[in-house]
Structure 1
Amino acid sequence: MGIKRIHVVLVVLRLDVGGMERYIANLANGLSRDRFRVSVICLDGIGAARRWITADDVELIELGLRSGNSWHAVTAITDVLQRLQPDIVHSHNWATLLETYFGARRYGEAIHVHGERGTVLGSNSCGPLKRKIRAATMRWACRRIALTTNAYCVAKKVTAITRSDLSRIHVIPNGLDPRYPNDQLPEMRASTRQSLGISRDELVFGSVARLSTVKNLELAIRALAAARPTISEPVHLVLVGDGPCLAELEQLAMAHVDAVTVHLPGHQWDPWPYLAAMDVFVNCSHSEGMSQSMIEAMAAGLPVIATDVGDAFEMISRPDAAGIVVAPNDELALTHAMITMANASMRRSYAAYAMTRQRDVYCLRTMVQGYEEMYTTIATKS
C-alpha cells in the first residue's frame, strides 16, 4: 500500500492575470504528485489565468461569490471542503482569510495555512476604522492558524498586525524557471524590436506590470525623458501590461514624445519576447511584496532599477548588485540610475549577477521545495 498523498487546496479570490496567480499556477503545477494532490478554489471566478495551470490533475472550483464577507460564503467553502476532504487548506490574502478560516473550522479535518503577499489587510484605500477592524480580526484569526508569505517585508507587516512571533511565519520567496534557453533570446530580441520599430543599437528600458496606480509607471516616463539629454543614443520605454492607468500613460507618453518613445503593447501572455528586447528592467512601484516580474527580468539576464519597496533591496543588492535601488517616487534618483544604466559595461556587470542570483535563490524548484517541506511538516505535526 502506497504512502497517502497530502491533499492541498489553494484558495484565491480569482485567477486573474497577475504575479500571485502566476505563483499559484507554478505551485499547483510543480508540487510532487508522488507526495501531493492539488485543488484550487476560486471564491469569485476562475479567470483568464487558468491557462497557466497546465497540470491536468488539478481540480479548479469556481464558487461565484462576490466581494464582502458572508455566512453564505462560509457554507459554500465548507461544502466544497467536505467533498474534497483535504489535509491542508491554504488561503491567500485578506479577501480569503475569514471565509476560509470558518469553512475549515466547520469542516474540521484540515489544517488552515494563510499566506499574505504584498499589501496586507487588502486595499490601502480603505479607511482607518475599517483597517483597524480588519487588523483586530486578522490578529484573532492568525493566532490559530499557520502563516506564510513570499517576502520578509510582508512577514514584518504580518507580525506587527498579528503581534505574533516572526519565527511563526514561513517565508518562502517566489521562484521561477527561465521560459526560454539563453541561445533563443538574441533571435527573440531582434524580432520583437523589429515589431516595435526599434533598431538593434537603440537603448530600451521597460517593465512588465499591471498598469495601475501602485505601479507608478508615470515616474518611469518622466525620469527617462529627463535623462534623455545625457544619453547619446535614442531611448525607448516598453510598458507591457494593461490596466486602469492606460489612458493616463498614453497621454503622458504623448507629452514627452520628443524625448522618449513609449510603447504600450498591452497585456501579453508571454512577456519574455519583450523582456528579451529590453536592456534594463524598471520597477517604480509605491508598494510591493516580492515582484514576480523582477524575478522574470533577472532570469532573462536584465539589470534592474527598482524602488526601495518590499524586498527589492534584498533581491538585487545582496550580496552583490544586480541593479540599482532608488527611493520610492524619487524622480531625480531614478533619472540618475537610468543615466548610469546607459553605460553598456555597467549593464553587463549588473546583468551577470542578476541571472546568477535568480538561478541560485529565486528558481522554481527552490520555491516548490519550500512549500513541500512546509506542508509536510505541518501535516506531520497534526
Structure 2
Amino acid sequence: MDVCHFINTLAHAGAERIVYDIINKTNNDNIKYDVCYFGVDHDRREDLEELGIEVTSFDANSLLDVRVIPRVISHFNQNEYDLIHLHLPHARSIGRIAGTISNSRIISTYHNIPSQFHPVIRAADKATVFADNRTVSVSRGVKNEMVDSHVYSMKKIKTINNGIDIEELNKLIKSSSMKKVKEKLDFEDKFVFLNIGRYVKQKSQIDIIKAMETVVKSEPKAHLILVGGGPLENKLRSCVKECNLSSNVSILGFVESINPYLRLADTYVSYSRNEGLPISLLEAMSGGLPIIASDVPGNNDVVKDGKTGYLIPRTNVSILSERMIDIIQSDEAYTMGQRGLEMAKKRFNAERMVSEYVSEYKMLVGDE
C-alpha cells in the first residue's frame, strides 16, 4: 500500500509531529510512506529522510502560492498513490482536488476546529470536503464542532486522539541533564510554571504574563518559563518589562530539547484560544505535571478539572491567576500530575493512535 502524507509545512509543530510518529511507529512492511509539503519550514525534513522516507517539496513561496496546485496534481498522478493522507487546511483543499483527479482514496485529519480557519480557507475546506473517504478529528471537541456546523458528514467522521510515546518520553524527562538549564537560569526554591508553544496570538502567552502580575504579589517565588519562538517574541518581552516581571518570567525562544524544562517545571499552564488536541499537554502529562488550561475543545479532552489539573474560562485572566496561586499552595499538585500521567498512558499513547490510523488505511483501500 502506497500512502502519501501531504501537509502544509515540516515545522516543529503538533501536526508535523503526528505525521512523523505515524510513519516512525507503523509496524507494517506492506505500507510504504512518502511525504510532500509546500516547501515552507523544513525543520523535520531531515528526521523523515533518516527514516528512509522520500520527501517532496513543492517549492512554494508561501502557503498561498497557487503554483503549487499543478505541481501537486502532477506529483499525485505520477506516483499513483493508493491513499493520500491530508493534514492542515491549505494541504487539505488542494490535496482533495489533486487526489480526486489521481483517483486515490483520501483521508483528512483535522488538527484544530474549522471555525478558526481564515474565512477563505474555511470556504475552500467546506467546498472540497465531499472528496474525503474518511474525515478524522483529533479530539471529541473538534468532532462536536464539525458535526454542529452541518457541513461535515457525521458518517465519515471518526475521532482518533493524538498520541505520543508517553512512557519513553517519561524516561527521557527523568534522565535529562539539567546542566545547561542551571547554567542559564537559577531556579533554586522557585515554583516553576512552564508553557511550550509558538509565540502567536492563538497561544495567548501575553495573558499568562499578565496573570503572573497577580501571582507574584501573593507568591514571589513563582516563575514562568515560555519556550517556543515566533512572531510575537518581541511583544512578549516588552510585556514582561512593562509588568516589571523580569525576575519572574523567562522567555527562552527555541530550545534544543524541552525535556529538561519538563523535568524542572512544577506545573504546566496553557491559555490557548483554541486547540485540536495539543501535543504540548501530552508532553506535560508525560512529565507528571499538573496542568492549568483554558476550557476549550482539545484542552478539555485532556485535562480533567480537579483531577489532573484545572480548566478555566478562556476570557478570565483573574481566574487564571487564582488557579496558579491555588496550585502553588495545594498539597494535591503532585497527585494531580501522577493521575494525568496514568491517564495519558491509557488514552494518548502513540501505539494506539498509529494502530487506529493503519486500520483506517486498510479499510479504505480494501486491504483488510
What SS does the corresponding residue of 2:18 show, helix, strand or coil?
helix
Paired residues of 1:16 and 1:47 also in contact (CA < 8 A):
yes
> What is the alpha-carbon distance in structure 1 between the residues aligned to residue 57 and residue 115 of structure 2?
23
Normalised by the length of structure 1, the TM-score is 0.88
> What is the alpha-carbon distance in structure 2 between the residues aligned to residue 187 and residue 96 of structure 1?
38
Q: Which residue of 253, 256, 277 maps to 2:264? A: 277
The C-alpha deviation readout for 1:325-379, integer Å capped at 9, x for no partner, is 0000311110111011103522111111111111111111111111111111111
**Aligned residue number for residue 349 of structure 2:** 363
* Structure 2 residue 199 is matched with structure 1 residue 211: yes
Shift of 1:178: 3.9
- Mapping for residues 16-165 of structure 1, pairs under 5 Å: 16-45=11-40, 47-53=42-48, 55-65=50-60, 66-68=62-64, 70=66, 72-108=67-103, 110-120=104-114, 123-124=117-118, 126=119, 130=120, 134-135=122-123, 137-145=124-132, 146-161=134-149, 163-165=151-153
Q: Which residue of 285, 295, 299 maps to 2:286? A: 299
Paired residues of 2:40 and 2:63 also in contact (CA < 8 A):
no
Amino acid at match of 1:98: S
Paired residues of 2:138 and 2:162 also in contact (CA < 8 A):
yes
**Aligned residue number for residue 3 of structure 1:** none
Shift of 1:202: 1.2
Q: Which residue of 223, 229, 232 maps to 2:211? A: 223
Instruction: Show structure 2 runs of 5+ residues with no match.
Output: none
* Structure 2 residue 221 is matched with structure 1 residue 234: yes
Paired residues of 1:204 and 1:236 also in contact (CA < 8 A):
yes
Q: Which residue of 308, 311, 327 maps to 1:322? A: 308
> What is the alpha-carbon distance in structure 2 between the residues aligned to residue 259 and residue 337 of structure 1?
22
**Aligned residue number for residue 201 of structure 1:** 189
After superposing on structure 2, the runs of 4+ consecutive aligned residues of structure 1 that deviate more than 6 Å are: none
Q: 1:46 to 1:243 in 2, by over 3 A?
A: closer
**21-30 or 250-259, larger mean C-alpha shift:** 250-259
Q: 1:54 to 1:366 in 2, by over 3 A?
A: farther
**44-53 or 363-372, larger mean C-alpha shift:** 44-53
Q: 1:64 to 1:75 in 2, by over 3 A?
A: same
What SS does the corresponding residue of 1:313 show, helix, strand or coil?
helix
- The sequence identity of aligned pairs, in percent, is 18
Amino acid at match of 2:191: L
Q: When the two structures are aligned, how many residues end up with a matched partner?
A: 366
> What is the alpha-carbon distance in structure 1 between the residues aligned to residue 256 and residue 91 of structure 2?
26
What SS does the corresponding residue of 1:39 show, helix, strand or coil?
strand
Shift of 1:55: 4.8
Paired residues of 2:4 and 2:35 also in contact (CA < 8 A):
yes
> What is the alpha-carbon distance in structure 1 between the residues aligned to residue 69 and residue 245 of structure 2?
56
**Aligned residue number for residue 256 of structure 1:** 243
Supply the RMSD in Å over aligned alpha carbons.
Answer: 2.5
Instruction: Show structure 1 runs of 5+ residues with no match.
Output: 1-5
Normalised by the length of structure 2, the TM-score is 0.91
